[in-house]
Amino acid sequence: GNSVTQMEGPVTLSEEAFLTINCTYTATGYPSLFWYVQYPGEGLQLLLKATKADDKGSNKGFEATYRKETTSFHLEKGSVQVSDSAVYFCALSDAGGTSYGKLTFGQGTILTVHP
């Protein structure tokens, strides 16, 4: 079956540091890939997505590129802010387009950014 593996956290950075959160996946075909973010006490919010190989998703300074050859979708940001402190989830939806509402999530990575 499908699975998503994220780097274990927690990740602690100083403000303006470079961020990378690794994500690799196992799936058949070409799934769609997502990064969701969860702030304390809130539900998940979509951060970015990519639906085919070599696509780059980007939003709010975050970027991730769909790498089929390495089955990866690593999240990066050039300069983090304290407000980026949250839990980040990598996720995929099945190829084939029938997995409505069904995402397979990684375990989540806690990011803490200090001033």
Partner 1 sequence: KAGVTQTPRYLIKTRGQQVTLSCSPISGHRSVSWYQQTPGQGLQFLFEYFSETQRNKGNFPGRFSGRQFSNSRSEMNVSTLELGDSALYLCASSLGGSANEKLFFGSGTQLSVL
Provide the binding-site residues for partner 1, judged by CB under 8 A: 32, 36, 41-46, 49, 51, 89, 93-94, 96-108
Those residues whose C-beta lies under 8 Å from the C-beta of residue 34, and which sit 6 or more positions away, are 46, 47, 48, 49, 90, 91, 92, 93, 103
User: Shortest Cβ distance from residue 93 to partner 1 (Å)?
Assistant: 5
CB of 59 to partner 1, least distance (A): 11
The SS3 call for residue 29 is: coil
Give 46 or 82: the residue with its C-beta nearer to partner 1: 46
Nearer to partner 1, 48 or 113 (CB): 48
**Closest to 31 in 3D by CA, of 15, 9, 55:** 55
Q: Other CB atoms closer than 10 Å to residue 43's CB: what's the count?
A: 7
C-beta of 97 vs 115, nearer to partner 1: 97
Closest contact distance (angstroms) between CB of 96 and partner 1 is 8
In the bound state with partner 1, the residue whose beta carbon lies nearer, of 12 and 51, is 51
Q: Could you tell me the smallest distance in angstroms from the CB atom of residue 48 to partner 1?
A: 10
Here the tokens at position 7 are 């780097």
CA atoms within 13 A of residue 98's CA, in its CB half-sphere: 1
